[in-house]
Amino acid sequence: MRYALCMLVLIGCASHEDQRIAEDLTGGTVDRGRAAFRKYGCGSCHEVHGEQTAQGSVGPSFHDFALQSYLPGGLTNSPANLMRWIEHPREVEPKTAMPELGVSERDARDLAAYLYTMK
Domain range list for the chain: 2-115
Q: What is the DSSP code string of 20-82?
A: HHHHHHHS--HHHHHHHHHHTTGGGT-B-TT-TT-B--SS---TTGGG-SB-GGG-B--HHHH
Could you tell me the pTM of the whole model?
Answer: 0.82
pLDDT in tens, the chain (119 residues): 333 333 333 344 437 898 999 999 999 999 999 999 999 999 888 878 777 666 666 777 788 899 999 998 899 999 999 999 999 999 999 999 999 999 999 999 999 999 999 98
Q: Which CATH number fits domain 2-115: 3.40.50.300, 3.30.420.40, 2.60.40.420, 2.40.10.350?
A: 2.60.40.420
CA distances from 89 to 51, 96, 98 (A): 24, 7, 7
